[in-house]
Amino acid sequence: MTRSTQSTRACPNCAADKAAPLPAYSQDEWQVVECMGCTMVYLQNPADYEALEEDFAWEKTFAAEDAMRHRRKSWIKRAARQVRILSYKLRRDPNDHYLSILGAGNILDVGCGDVVRWRAPFIPHGIEISKALQKTAHEKMHALGGECLLGAGAEVIWHFSEDKFDSVMMHSYLEHETQVSKILNGAIRCLKPGGKAFIRVPNFNSLNRRISGPKWPGFRYPDHVNYFTVETLKAVAANAGFDFKLVNRHKIWLDDNIQAVLIKPIIA
């Protein structure tokens, strides 16, 4: 073990401590396993929060990882990637897209980086673990009536008051979070009744993962620590008290990502 790893953890879904190693999907000291109780796939010995703030900060690791994966891709996959990028550009404005899904108001973007993708009628707030990115995000959000707090999502989300937010965004975030139950319990606490959390995570059951195996782009070491299927994502959401709605149901078996909305029930 290096300085940057913590002791092994239990299953982030069912908390069982018995797991089967998946050596084909592990790399170096990073051990990917499958829970023997609920089949959740996860990194058993993730980096600690301090290391993620500095040693493995996203802005330091993403460029090198992306370049390596690009070199490994066949010309067919590279062409497919360009088609996906073009399709993203042709879509309607992201602010309008998420407004139609989540509704207006105070939005909390967990793991926001330094990008503020929200404008009125959203009021943007954020949490970011990277010191450099948080500083920039806070300056941008403060100018729009919100703020960005520094720290780990599962810890800092509890600093906000109950029922503060109309929506929570966890876009490409939950796969990084070692304390899944804590972050989701914190999200449902700070959401207003009827509020929604948008989740986007890599889809471990995708056709591409089954074909690509260890070369699947959803694997990132050590910052991807949870590998969800629709079933395990729905389970962790239900554990926190959320209702679950799958957004990309029509193409889920082909999609490398799961997109879902978690809804805080309105109690009469």
CATH number of the domain where residue 176 is located: 3.40.50.150
What is the model's pLDDT at position 3?
45
Query: What distance separates the 2 farthest-apart alpha carbons in the chain?
Result: 56
Over its length of 268 residues, how does the chain's per-residue pLDDT go in tens digits?
344 455 799 999 999 999 999 999 999 999 999 999 999 999 999 987 666 555 555 555 555 555 555 555 555 555 555 545 555 555 568 899 999 999 999 999 999 999 899 999 999 999 999 899 999 999 999 999 999 999 999 999 999 999 999 999 999 999 999 999 999 999 999 999 999 999 999 999 999 999 999 999 999 999 899 999 999 999 999 999 999 999 998 889 889 999 999 999 998 7
**CA angle at 246 for the pair 240 and 249, rounded to the nearest 5°:** 155
What is the model's pLDDT at position 2?
44
Domain assignment present for 230: yes
What is the amino acid identity at position 74?
Answer: S
Q: Would you say 202 and 175 are in contact if contact means Cβ atoms under 8 Å apart? A: yes
Domain assignment present for 227: yes
Domain assignment present for 220: yes
Q: Would you say 225 and 70 are in contact if contact means Cβ atoms under 8 Å apart? A: no
Domain assignment present for 234: yes
Q: Would you say 222 and 213 are in contact if contact means Cβ atoms under 8 Å apart? A: no
Sign of CA dihedral 35, 37, 40, 45: negative
Kindly list the strands in the beta sheet with 32-35, ordered across the sheet, starting from the edge strand earlier in the chain.
19-21, 32-35, 41-43, 226-227
Domain assignment present for 4: no
Write out the residue range of the structural domain in which residue 125 sits: 19-263
Domain assignment present for 3: no
Domain assignment present for 150: yes
Domain assignment present for 78: yes
What is the model's pLDDT at position 94?
85
Taking the C-alpha atoms of residue 37 and residue 16, their distance in angstroms, rounded to an integer, is 7
Q: Would you say 123 and 146 are in contact if contact means Cβ atoms under 8 Å apart? A: yes
Which residue, 202, 258, 220, 206, is CA-closest to 69?
220
What is the model's pLDDT at position 224?
95
Count of domains forming the chain? 1
What is the amino acid identity at position 106?
Answer: N
For residue 261, give the H/E element and its range: strand 257-263
